[in-house]
A and B are shown apart, each in its own frame.
Chain A
Amino acid sequence: MTHKHDLTCHNILENLNAYIDGELDDKLCADIESHVQSCPNCQIVINTLKKTIQLCKLTDAEISLPSETRHRLYARLNLEDYDKKD
């Protein structure tokens, strides 16, 4: 599929980060939403970008410090007395 970058799509891309992070003023937000209604390509880019961030966040949220690694950390810092028991 090809994606033509006319000025309006270009403007969407320029403001994409700020839009996703909710940092744009109401007027610009409304303009973007209006553009997206009639531009499926921009809609797909915005949706897949949001989903990408969400999936990366979910994947990493599961990482926690293994208990053996934690014990070695507390020992290295001479804080064994404060180490939680498993």
Chain B
Amino acid sequence: MNLKENNETFELIALQQRDKAVFARVLDQNSDRIYRLALKMLGNVQDAEDILQETFIKAFNNIEKFEGRSKISTWLYRIAVNESLMLLRKRKGNTVQLEMSIETDDGDLIPRQIVDWCCLPEKELMNTETRDYIQEAVKILSDSNRAAFILRDVEGLSTQETAEALDISESAVKVRLMRARMQLREELTGFFARKMIKETL
């Protein structure tokens, strides 16, 4: 069975027979994205490297469990997300995550700040200060909402692939994604609004 992905064809049997050259190709094509995911989930390079190594060790040790029903990248994402969530749980213990509430008592999501910051010049929208702020804002999201956001919006997986990687329903992906997007919008709106006020003073 051939698996076509990213313009590469993998021989599933060769993969399951632990062909080193095929392993190396899987590694070459997926290490960037798994590292990116781990870095966004964990927030520091050392933990990201640990998760990266653990993901591929686990994947290659259990390669017979990969049956080719999903993309191999989705399967790898799934392992990496599980490893990341396990590490985060271990670190946080019983602490409770507090998110800025954007929900009404009925569970509806509402935008709290209405400021049009899209008109700001591109160089201001994408300078180092903004990038740093975005990195921090993503960390504020709950672990589960962050995972959905990274997979769907940053890595560009479909809703179905994200659901497979997180082992949840597509409707649950949509709920988590909406919460993450709306919360990030609030964070960035606050950030740019403060900048706009500063400029007018």
**Tally of chain A residues near chain B (CB < 8 A):** 41
The yes or no answer to B172 lying at the interface (CB within 8 A) is no
Which of these binds chain A: B67-75, B81-89, B178-186? B178-186
Minimum distance in angstroms from B146 CB to a CB of chain A: 11
* A3 close to B (CB within 8 Å): yes
A residues 55-86 in Cβ contact with B at 8 Å: 55-60, 63-66, 69-70, 72-74, 76-77, 79, 81-82, 84
Tell me, rounded to whole Å, the shortest Cβ–Cβ distance linking A61 to chain B.
Answer: 8
A8 at the interface (CB under 8 A from B): no
Question: B9 on the interface (CB 8 Å rule)?
Answer: no
A73 to B76, CA, bound (A): 15
B78 within 8 A of A: no
Question: Which residue of A59, A65, A74 contacts B35 across the interface (Cβ within 8 Å)?
Answer: A65
Chain B residues near A63: list those with CB within 8 A: 35-36, 39-40
Q: Is the CB of B181 within 8 A of A53?
A: yes
Give the chain A neighbours of B52 by CB distance below 8 A: 65, 69, 73
Contact yes or no, A13 B108, CB < 8 A:
yes
Pick 6 A–B contacts, CB within 8 A, sort by A. Answer: A47-B118, A51-B117, A58-B126, A59-B134, A77-B27, A79-B27
Query: Which B residues have a C-beta under 8 Å from some C-beta of A?
Result: 20-21, 23-24, 27-28, 31-32, 35-36, 39-40, 45, 49, 52-53, 56-57, 60, 108-111, 114-118, 125-126, 130-131, 134-135, 138, 149-150, 153-154, 159, 174, 177-178, 181-182, 184-185, 188-189
A55 B23 Cβ-Cβ under 8 A: no
With both chains docked as a complex, state the minimum distance between the C-beta of B113 and any C-beta of chain A, in angstroms. Answer: 8
Within the assembled complex, what's the spacing in Å between the Cα atoms of A43 and B40?
30
Interface assignment of A7: CB less than 8 Å from any CB of chain B: no
